[in-house]
Structure 1
């Protein structure tokens, strides 16, 4: 069987970019069971309640929902079990130092396959306040209006 090439996105956590200021991102491998991989290949996963935790110099992913594989038997996995993330020691130490600072958390942004291997993009993030979220939405709306006005001007429909 030929090896897979490229990237295939499985799940994305869009709300994380709305709720957090993203400081750094890391690509980590996932230690998965066989039925979890098959379920991910079907494109089934949810990162909504996911978060990362460092325990005894190991990084663990909690709250990520990978549903049970439908054709699985007694070897099926539990849907919300904690999963180990595979990172280099230097990356784990860097993340651990930053998490010990006040306000930082580890948030999964996306799960994807890269050259046939399951990967997760995790981010060091700080929570946004409610007024920060409103400011971000207002800035995005202003940029959109500016682009629309520029487009109308270039088309000659200025008014």
Structure 2
């Protein structure tokens, strides 16, 4: 039996922002912890979160993840959380300064790419992203199709 070594084990992947890789070219990535409440981590473990419209903003030397929807926990009672609240990210000061400098450039934003569990803790992979133009998006799709075509042809030889 041959195992596919190209795909890594994504059992701990809770959510992924596929739209971000389509709309932006990612220049660099950072791993950050997230400050969560009890019902939020339970919802994340149930994979009930949406990163599509999310972004990261630097305020007062701290990084916050904005507009990320984590659904309310179904078994939570009056202690349930607000689904769209701003969540603080845990990063080193150097990383926050680097992110603040990068986000001050025109056309650059910081977007969450994926949320996963690492040693029981929820982590978010954030990327410094520059918006793509429409023709860049078409070029990316064209290149991906060409690579698929090459893989199909090489598979038969």
TM-score, with normalisation over the residues of structure 2?
0.91
What is the aligned counterpart of 1:25 among 25, 29, 34? 29
What is the aligned counterpart of 1:47 among 44, 48, 51? 51
4+ residue runs over 4 A deviation: none
1:115-130 equivalence runs, <5 A: 115-130=119-134
What is the aligned counterpart of 1:140 among 129, 137, 144? 144
The alpha-carbon distance between structure 1 residues 98 and 48, as it changes in their structure 2 partners (threshold 3 A), is: same
Where 1:68 maps in the other structure, the secondary structure is: coil
Q: Which residue of 2 aligns with 1:79?
A: 83
Q: Measure the CA separation in 2 of the matches of 1:146 and 1:11.
A: 30
Provide the aligned length of Structure 1 versus Structure 2. Answer: 148
Deviations along 1:92-147, whole A, 9 cap, x unmatched?
Answer: 00111111111110000011110001111000000101100000001111111122
Where 1:90 maps in the other structure, the secondary structure is: helix
- Name structure 1 gaps, 5 residues minimum: 1-5, 155-159
CA-based RMSD of the aligned residues comes to 1.3
Deviations along 1:29-54, whole A, 9 cap, x unmatched?
Answer: 00001110111111211101100101
Whose Rg is larger?
A: 1
Q: Measure the CA separation in 1 of the matches of 2:51 and 2:113.
A: 8
What is the aligned counterpart of 1:11 among 10, 15, 22? 15
1:149, CA displacement in angstroms? 2.1
What is the aligned counterpart of 1:105 among 105, 109, 114? 109
